[in-house]
Amino acid sequence: MSAQINPSILAADFANFERELGHIASADAAHVDVMDNHFVPNLTFGQPMVERLQAVSPIPLDLHLMIEDPDRWAPDFAAMGVWSVTFHAEAATAPVTLAKKLRAAGARAGIALRPGTPFSAVEEILGSFDQLLIMTVEPGFGGQRFMTETMPKLRQAHEFAKRTGLELQLQVDGGITTDTIGIAAEHGADTFVAGSAVFRGEPAEQIEALRQAAAQHTHE
C-alpha cells in the first residue's frame, strides 16, 4: 500500500473548517480527534460538529474517538456516514461486538493503543478490524514529540499482519513530520496522521512532502 496521509484538523483553523478541509483535499482522509475530557484531559468535537464536517468535507473522515464508553457512542458516529471510526482498546468493554456494529453501519472499524498498552492487548482480535492505530504520543493534545519507543510495537504489529496474511492498515498518530515519518514507515506504518506538519505550511505541499518521505522508507 502506498503511504496514506490523513491530516489532523486539530491543527486547523477552527473558525474556518470548510476552507481548511478544502486546503487538504489532496490528502487521503481528514483525521478528526473526538475527545471528551474524560478519557483524555481535553475536549474537542461532539456529534453535531462531526455531522457538519461530514457534510462539507471533500475527503473522507477518519474519526479517532478518545472517549469513555465508545461501546455506547461510536455507532452513532458511524451512522453519520463517516469513512472510518477508531476507538481505544483501553476504553471499550466489548471491542469485537463494537467493530461489528461499526462495519454494519458502513464504516471501517479501527482500534487504537496508547503508548503504554502492549500489542498483546489486541493481537487475538485484530481479525475483526480494518485498522490498528499505534499512538506515537500520549493521546489528548497536538504538537507533542514523536515517541520512538513505540516503534517496536509497530514492528510487532506489522510482522503479525504479514505472518497471518491479515489485511490491516497500520496507522500512526503523534509527532509525525518529514523527519519522523520515515522512521514509522520503516517499522511498518502505512497510514500517517499529521497535524502541525501540514497546517503550519502550505497544506498541499506539505502533504506531498510527507507522502514522498514515507515512500522512501516503506517497510516490506
Whether 190 is a known active-site residue: answer no
Query: Active site residue: 28, 62, 130, 173, which one?
Result: 173
Distance CA 55, CA 141 (A): 26
Strand order in the sheet with 61-66: 4-7, 191-194, 169-173, 131-135, 108-113, 84-88, 61-66, 30-35
**DSSP characters over the chain:** -PPEEEEBGGGS-GGGHHHHHHHTTTSS-EEEEEEBSSSSS-B---HHHHHHHHHH-SS-EEEEEE-S-HHHHHHHHHTTT-SEEEEETTT-SSHHHHHHHHHHTT-EEEEEE-TTS-GGGTGGGGGG-SEEEEESS-TT-SSPPP-GGGHHHHHHHHHHHHHHT---EEEEESS--TTTHHHHHHTT--EEEESHHHHTS-HHHHHHHHHHHHHTT---
Whether 33 is a known active-site residue: answer yes
Query: Active site residue: 28, 33, 36, 190, which one?
Result: 33
- Catalytic positions, please? 33, 173
